[in-house]
Chain A
Amino acid sequence: MSFLEVFQYTRKDSAIHHLDPRAKMLLSIVCAAVSLVFTDIFPLLMIFFCLLPLIAVAKSLRRWGRSMKGLSILLVFVIVFNTLLSPGANPFSHSIALTIRLVDLMTSFSLFFLTVHPDQLSQALIQMHVKFEFAFAMSMAMRLVPTLAQEAYAIMDAQKARGVELDKGNPVKRIRNIIPIIVPLIIVSIRKALSIAESMESRGFGASKKRTYMDKLKFRKRDWAVVMISLTMLIFVTYVRLYVPLPDWLFWSLPF
């Protein structure tokens, strides 16, 4: 579960943390979009090496590294399955590229989720005219990620005590072993959601239609700068991809 850490807010004092969440949202989406434009190893690696310094500026490299370590099993799965199932030429090379793309995407979004407090997120959504209930649900979901991770650990303990050996056996057995973890986790989360809803309603959630807010987000110069840079990057990359003949080495792939 440790790969979820990369989507969990950490309180840090960094330039990225101080940006307006809306600017960061755009930055994240642009980074993700740019990763989706390419399907080859080199361009995707280049994007990766552009993203890494951003994570470093956000002072979160260590956490990011830990998450990637947790993710590595999944990445190996992606490579193996894609290689086996991909119909095109050079299936291995293709699945390596897709794996880098997955890492790019996760890193892009982690840039946002690592540095935006759940309350800031809901405030940003509200100021973007999203209905309060939806914004609240979003920030609630973010807020519950660590709680769910804890639940998951408790469930693993309970199942291990019944003799489930989570880290033994062949891959098929290991996948089957996920069932005793995932089913209680879903049920516990649904129960928890219902009880949160009940306790919120009993404390008068939604009683007054007009809400006021303590903090308002304000766009500053540096936020505009991030927006401008992001948009320019998006336009530039899209233009290059569509209209500029790129050199062959960019599309280099492994021979198998």
Chain B
Amino acid sequence: MIMLDAIHFSYEGIYTALRGVSLQVDDGERVAIMGANGAGKTTLIKHMNGLLRPQSGKVFLDGRDTTSLSVAEMARTVGLVFQSPDHQLFLDSVYKEIAFGLRNLGLGDQEVEERCSKTMDTLGLKGLAERSPFALSGGERKRVALASVLVTEPKVLALDEPTIGQDAQQKEKLAELLMGLNQKGRTVIVVTHDIEFVIEHFPRTVAMANGKIVADGPTNSVLSSDRAIELCSLTYPQMTQAARALKHRFPQVTERLTSLAEMEETIMSILGGRRR
């Protein structure tokens, strides 16, 4: 469980990124953090593994005050995957890159090998094991960076913009992977602008604007609120737009439609009053 208690952070006193943010994420949750550029999303998740320390307020991991914990200690619980893979890849083969974090943890050769090959399998990197990370495409590099964090099996996985630069199928695979990890009890937190990705896969959404949380709750209610959409500089999800269009003809349609399943149900009920 991660608990942020009234966190305040400003960059060198010049730019205030967080103005008193409180957030609790329980074990096994899937949470999306959304917000306009500069809302403080990345700053927020950097507090979760101690890269940034709050200037006031406190961060608790599993009930423990993290003030005295080092980043390396917190990183065992919270794995953070950064936006740009180029900031962390530095070894000459994909395999070494993925094994690097495990060696930092001091694991034996056999366990390193097992975990690496498992992770490479799940991320479709098997064929690239001996390639240089720098010779890969952007999307592949991003998956290597993800693998290098995933392999340490942190309890909480926080991803900054994981869907950027991934094609639709890779995105689906990433979603599947995150769901799979979540089912095994991991907490998954993503920072993203990808509203459809959030709707499909994340039951809870935290909306941020100007360093504050402006809405926090079930995704479909947060993302159908005009205020949250406006403050996060988002556009309405396609399903909400479609629902609004339908509402002109069929007043029984609710506007608060976000997912494909809900839409299907509504259309079926309009057509025949029957549910599938």
Mark A residues whose CB is within 8 Å of B.
151, 154-155, 157-165, 168, 179-180, 183-184, 187-188, 191
Contacts and interface: CB of A to CB of B under 8 A. Distances in A.
B88 A163 contact: no
A241 B89 CA distance: 52
B103 to A, nearest CB: 9
Interface string B132-157: 00100000000000001100100000
B75 A157 contact: no
- Give the top 4 A-B pairs by smallest Cβ distance, nearest first: A183-B90, A163-B104, A158-B88, A158-B87
A154 B51 CA distance: 10
B89 A184 contact: yes
Interface string B98-118: 001100110000000000000
B219 interface: no
B80 interface: yes
Interface residues of B, number: 26
A94 to B, nearest CB: 37
A187 B91 CA distance: 11
Nearest to A162: B101
Contacts of A183: 90-91
B246 interface: no
Nearest to A186: B90
A187 B89 CA distance: 9
A187 B149 contact: no
A161 B70 contact: no
A157 B72 contact: no
A63 B12 CA distance: 15
Nearest to A182: B90
Contacts of B51: 157, 160-161
Contact of A163 (B86, B87, B89, B152): B152
B87 A165 contact: no
A162 B87 contact: no
B164 to A, nearest CB: 16
Contacts of A191: 86
20 contacts: A155-B88, A157-B82, A159-B88, A160-B72, A161-B71, A161-B75, A161-B79, A161-B82, A161-B149, A162-B101, A162-B104, A162-B152, A163-B152, A164-B104, A165-B70, A165-B71, A168-B72, A184-B89, A187-B86, A187-B90
